[in-house]
Amino acid sequence: MPPKTPDPQGHALWGGRFSGKPDALMQAINVSIGFDRRLAAEDLAGSKAHAAMLAARGIISQADEAEIQRGLAAIGEEIEAGTFPFRDEFEDIHLNVEKRLEELIGAASGRLHTGRSRNDQVALDFRLWVRSACDRTVEQILGLQRALVGQAETHAATLMPGFTHLQSAQPVTFGHHLMAYVEMLGRDGGRFADARARMNESPLGAAALAGTSFPIDRQMTARALGFDKPMANSLDAVSARDFALEALAAAGMLALNLSRLAEEIVLWTTPQFGFVSLSDAFTTGSSIMPQKRNPDAAELTRAKTGRVLGAFTALSLVMKGLPLAYSKDMQEDKVPVFEAFDAVELALAAMTGMIADLKVNEARMAAAAGAGYATATDLADWLVRVLGLPFRQAHHIAGRAVKRAEELGVELAQLPLKELQTLEPGVTVGVLDVLTPEASAASRTSYGGTAPERVRAEIARWKEILR
C-alpha cells in the first residue's frame, strides 16, 4: 500500500483539489473568524436543525445524529464559557465549528455537512442573526416609547414654543412634542417588523446554489428554526442579501429620527434655551472650562447616524454588481451590518436613559411659549370665527397687530384693546381670552392637536399599545 500523501493544506476542509498552501496574504484577506464568530449561536442552531432533519429522513443514522448533537451542545457550552478555541487557520465560524466537532466526536462529524454547503449555511446564519437583531431593536424602540410616554404624561399641559424654521411659531405642550417622537418611533418599529416578515424564509437546503440530490426536508428545518417556509429558489436563497439591506434601511431611518431628538436635547440643554437639564449620568465636563455640562450622550447618538447610513451604502456597493449566485464579496456583508446594529443598540439605550433623566424647566418653557408673538394665528382665527372675516383679511390684520405690538414693546396679549380696535373696529374684549399661550394651546382640540385633553387621549391610546 503506497504511503499516504500528506494533505498540503493540512487543516483546510476544502483542500482536496489543491496541491499548495495559500499565500499568507491570501490567508489574511480570506479569514473572517475575527468578525463572523458573532454567528456562532446561529451556526449551532442551524447545524442542530440540519442534523435532526438528516436523521429523520434516514440520510444519517440516529446514532450519528446523537453524537453530532452531543458535540454541538458541547461546543455551545465552550462558547458560552469563553473557552472555545477560535482559530484563524479555519477561516470562518463554520469551519471552526466543524473542525472542533471533529475533534470532539470523530468521524461522525463528517456526516453533518451532507446535503448542505457553506453557501446556504452562511446565508442561514446571517439571516437568523439579522432577524434577531430586528427583534432586539423593536424591543428597544418600545422601551424608548415608554420613556417618552412617561415624560409626556407628566408634561401633557406644560407649555413650550412650537417651532418652524427654528423660529417661534405657535404654543404647544411639551407632552405633545414628545408624543410626536412616539409616533415616529412607531413607524420605525413597523419597518423592522415588515423587514422581519419578508426575511422569514429559510435558505437552508439550497446547498451551494442548485439544491441537493439528497431527500432532505426543507420544511422541517424551516419550522425548527422559526421560519415561515423555505425559500423557493436555490439561487436566490444563497445569493440574496436584500434582507440585510432592508434591515439597514430601517435602521437608517431610525437613526435619523434618533438624531433629530438628540439634536433637540442638545439645543434644549443650552443656557440660551434652558428648557431641560440632564444629570451627571448623561453629561460630561470640560477639561478647561469648569462651568460646562456637555450633552455628549446626545451628541454621540446624533453622530451614530453616519455609521448606520454608511453601512447601508457599504453593503449596497458590495452587492450592486454581483451575478448569481454566491461570490466571496459577500463575506463583506457582515461587518457593516454588525456595526450598524451595534450603533443603533447603543443609541437607543442612551436615548432611553436621557429621556427618563430629563428635568424640565417649566417656567422657562412657558415664558418662551408666548415669545415672538406666537399667538398671532389665534388672533386671526378669532377674527374669522367671531367676526366672520375672510382668513386672508384676518391674517393681514393680525400681522399689523404684531407690528404695533413690536412698536410698543409688548406681547400681543398685552396690546391695549383700543389698539386692536383701531385695526378692526369690531374687535371686543373677548379677543383677549385667546391671546395667551395657555388659551392658544387649549384651543387646538382638533384630532392630533396640542390641546392637553387631546395629548392625554393620545397618551392613553399609546399606553394601551405599549402595555
Query: Which residues participate in catalysis according to the annotation?
Result: 165, 286
Identify any residues that bridge with 162 across adjacent strands, giving them in sequence order.
Answer: 170
Distance CA 310, CA 348 (A): 18
Cell numbers found for residue 397: 390684520
- The residues, any chain, with a CB within 8 Å of residue 295's CB and separated by 6 or more, are 265, 266, 269, 278, 282, 283, 354
Q: Which residue carries 414693546 as its cell?
A: 409
CA distance 384 to 390: 6
Distance CA 192, CA 179 (A): 20
Rounded CA separation 21/15 (Å): 9
Q: Whole-angstrom Cα distance, residue 120 to residue 329?
A: 15
Name the amino acid, one letter, at 286.
S
Which string of DSSP letters, residue by residue, matches 136-188? HHHHHHHHHHHHHHHHHHHTTT-EEEEEETTEEEEEEEHHHHHHHHHHHHHHH
- Cβ contact 77:164 at 8 Å: no
Amino acid found at 278:
L
Q: What distance lies between CA 195 and its chain's CA centroid?
A: 12
Using DSSP's 3-state secondary structure scheme, residue 209 falls into: coil
